[in-house]
Structure 1
Amino acid sequence: MRFRLTGEQRSLREGMRALLGRRFDGAALRAAVAAPGLDRELWRELGAAGFFALRLPEAAGGVGLGLPEAVLVFEEAGRALLTGPLLATHLAAADVPGAAEGETVVARVDGALVEWLAEADVVTGSAGGAGGAWDVSEAVPLRSVDPLTPLHRVPGAGGGDPDPVAVLLTAAEQLGTAVRACELAVQHARTRVQFGQPIGAFQAVKHLCAEMLVRAETARAAVYAAAVTADPLDIAAARLLADEAAVAGSRDCLQVHGGMGFTWETEVHLLLKRAWVRSHRGGGVTESEEKLAADLLG
């Protein structure tokens, strides 16, 4: 199996990174924390760039690409901590009018939780079909640990197997966050000076950065492989590794930054909070472990 990206795939990833660097940089991320809400203009720009219609056939007005390409753009979204119900709108692109173009914002009931309910034009879920609307009149708002991921709990929802594509694309977002945490840790270790030398010269800091890189690259190999095979067991393994890389990597990034990592002036704490929230989506640690264990005991 070959994992080397094609020229077109590299261009896609670079183009998405450039778009997010221009429209959702560090300043925009902090502004979103200060004034939470969905940027509809950015949402439409993502639609125009093909983010939501990426896997739709060209005959249906889509880009006509596949799961590996979707993984690449979701990885970049995770790296930038892009806000909004990206996964729900992407999954609904074929069924909900306006979703593919970014004109319609779609939220999705995942287990008993739904992200960005107040901003959504349509709410979908696994029960009742891909485009079926949900009754969320009794949804209860929750206090989310991530200020950029508002959450509601829907009474009576839950159950059923999670959508493998949703599980994999969540893993891709987690991978992007793990990569970003590693980048920030290495950058800080190179520039922060203590006792007359960069803190990256100290063995304990070197070990933290090395472990972050190993977890991120191991998760990358698993996520990319699962995007090629689309095998449910490969997806479960990828999700386990990506969740660990994002959560443990963000935590280690905080350690490298010391007390500074907990301040609002940095984005490090936001990486950890987003990783925590994503890890509770369907197909997380417990469900993936159970799936893999059942196969081993098969």
Structure 2
Amino acid sequence: MDFRLTGEQRDLRAGVRDLLAGRYGREALRASLEAGVAVDRRLWRELGEAGFFSLRLPEADGGVGLGLPEAVLVFEEAGRALLPGPLVATHLAAGVVPGAASGTTVVTAFDLGGPLVAHLGEADAVLGASAPPEGEPVRSVDPLTPLHRVTGPGPAPDRPDAGRRPAPGPDPAPYPDPVPYRDEGALLTAALQVGSALRTVELAVDHAGRREQFGQPIGAFQAVKHLCAGMLVRAEVARTAVYAAAVTGDAAEIAAAKLLADEAAVQGARDCLQVYGGMGFTWEADVHLHLKRAWVRAEQWRTAAQAEELLAADLLGAVG
């Protein structure tokens, strides 16, 4: 099987990168931070018009008619640009929630596995719920991923297949769980993590080439070379796993891809901070933003513990 990207796929990735560079470059990112606005409605509609959310809808339904392999390329670029907002939930809601495909409706989800909901204050709908619930804001580690804690009973599911979380105990969680979308949500979040991991490699290498100590770039030092090499290896292994899982659609492979991508994004950002030194922790640098976003994404759709349990069950089933 040939896993190399086709010309059309490379063009798609390049087009999305150009779009985001023009509409959500570093200046726009910084403007979002200063304004404290994670979801730019105008940009959201532009993404909808560009087919970001309707990418996998059939052409007969007004979509682009592509598949998961193309979607992970698009989300990888979004992760690279640190594009904020409930991108995954809105993409998954295309064709289900009116206005999601066009970007006129912002959709979030109970993808954190409990009462915390990201972007609840900016969302028009919640995937799998009849209406957005009431919630109180709580402090988030990522300034562009605002969190709310639901203050009352979870909203009723609007479809039986998107109902409440199945649990072995007598007290199941009272929040709608987007079960039918769990694998796709985990895969697309993994693609976001891969994009972030690859971007931190670029940031580390660029800084190592410019920053000098003892009369030479710090990139000439073996310790820095090892850090950058390790970052690249983790990012490329995770990217390969995400691409493969997008082709097969296998739940176990998606779980493995999420594990690898979370590690690549979190550890890559940590190592990038190490390369930057003390200035990496300052507000002027972007490295800490990648780390904070990676921490949040690692808890969305499928955590490391959940992915490990799924992989273990799959392995035990194969052995049995």
- Taking structure 1 as the reference length, what is the TM-score of the superposition? 0.95
Residue by residue over 1:236-284, the C-alpha shift from the partner in whole angstroms, topping out at 9 and shown as x without a partner, is 0000000000000000000000011011111100000000000011212
Instruction: Report how far residue 96 of structure 1 moved.
Output: 1.1
1:162-181 paired onto structure 2 within 5 Å: 163-181=182-200
The one-letter amino acid of 1:149's match is T
2:222 pairs with 1:203: yes
1:152 has 2:148 as partner: yes
5+ residue gaps in structure 1?
Answer: 126-131
Alignment RMSD = 1.3
Shift of 1:159: 6.3
Give 1:143's aligned residue: 139
Q: Does residue 5 of the first structure (1) align with residue 23 of the second (2)?
A: no
Distance 1:176 1:48 in 2: 22
Counterpart of 1:84 in structure 2: which amino acid? G
SS in 2 for 1:109: coil
AA paired with 2:32? A
Rounded to whole Å, the distance in 1 between the matches of 2:130 and 2:188 is: 22
Q: For 1:159 and 1:39, how far apart are their aligned partners in 2?
A: 26
CA shift at 1:2, angstroms?
2.0
Gaps of 5+ in 2: 154-173
SS at 1:104's partner residue?
Answer: coil
Map 1:69-218 to 2 at 5 A: 69-110=70-111, 111-112=113-114, 113-125=116-128, 132-137=129-134, 139-154=135-150, 156-157=174-175, 161=179, 163-218=182-237
Distance across 2 between alignment mates of 1:124 and 1:64: 22
Which residue of the partner structure matches residue 258 of structure 2? 239
Aligned equivalents of 1:78, 1:31: Cα separation in 2? 18
d(CA) in 2 for partners of 1:257, 1:140 = 36
Amino acid at match of 1:279: A
Give the distance between the partners of 2:27 and 2:210, measured in 1 at CA: 21
| 2:70 alignment partner AA | E
* Deviation >3 Å, runs of 4+: 158-162
Q: How does 1:45-84 map to 2 (within 5 A)?
A: 45-84=46-85
Task: For 1:119, give the aligned amino acid.
Answer: E
Provide the secondary structure at the position in 1 that maps to 2:109: strand
Alpha-carbon deviation of 1:36? Answer: 1.5
- For 1:269 and 1:86, how far apart are their aligned partners in 2? 21
Number of positions where the alignment pairs a residue of Structure 1 with one of Structure 2? 291
Instruction: Give the residue type in structure 2 aligned to 1:11.
Output: D
Matches of 2:108 and 2:316, distance apart in 1: 36
- 2:33 maps to 1:19: no
User: Are residues 91 and 30 of structure 1, via their aligned partners in 2, closer, same or farther at CA, if it must alter by over 3 Å?
Assistant: same
Q: 1:77 and 1:288 mapped to 2: Cα distance?
A: 23
Whichever residue aligns with residue 313 of structure 2, its letter is A
CA distance in 2 between partners of 1:177 and 1:4 (Å): 21
- The residue identity in structure 1 corresponding to 2:257 is A
